[in-house]
A = this chain, B = another copy of it.
């Protein structure tokens, strides 16, 4: 009897038609069974948001042996919840978010729908990996990522991350990488975040933009340092956001 291929649940925040997701599908389809549940339109900046005021729905857009693709009306988190709770008939070996068009390193992890995918996978007890390329362009070149995607996918399944943890993997915009570095999240700051545009009918509207400043540029153990020096940055990430170091101080105050 042929060994069963691993089953991967894929989602993203750029939407079901995004090139990053489809490059991931193309790369991994020969190696694994794939179940894809991705938003029907771009959801950049969705973070861990979910849909509660309205219902969600999905439709199957492709269904063949070893590959099912669904388009969902909800957020990236909704996609993972719905796939696991209602749609998939076999438990995945790994949940993957991406490949995101744009960096999810440093504090961007909090705004990232790609990270929303893997947070949700981690909460449900599955190993989960987010892939992001530091290139926002629609036609970003994902080919340098191929061997890393495969290697990290197999290693994440083999290692089996502890529940409530996941990996945030970011690739620098380079034709070739210096290797891989396991990192911590960099502290950085977003400033000058809006462009103020006068509305033709009166009033103003504001487009999000911004400058990101690395607050610890010399710290060689951070994800931004790794990316700036040409490395693939793997940041192990956890669901527990408790500031454990503050507990004793606050017990004195409250």
Using a CB–CB cutoff of 8 Å, the interface residues on chain A facing chain B are 42, 44-53, 55-57, 59, 75, 77-78, 81-82, 85-86, 107, 109-111, 113, 116, 119, 123-125, 152, 155, 159, 161-165, 167, 180, 182-185, 187, 189-194, 196-197, 199, 203-208, 234-244, 246-247, 249-251, 253-254
Contact = CB atoms under 8 A, between A and B. Distances in A.
A125 B15 CA distance: 33
B44 A52 contact: yes
30 contacts: A45-B49, A45-B53, A46-B47, A47-B48, A47-B116, A48-B110, A49-B113, A50-B208, A52-B208, A56-B205, A56-B206, A56-B208, A77-B111, A81-B194, A82-B194, A85-B193, A86-B206, A123-B190, A125-B189, A152-B254, A159-B253, A165-B243, A165-B246, A182-B247, A182-B250, A185-B239, A185-B240, A234-B250, A235-B242, A237-B241
Contacts of A208: 50-52, 55-56, 78, 81
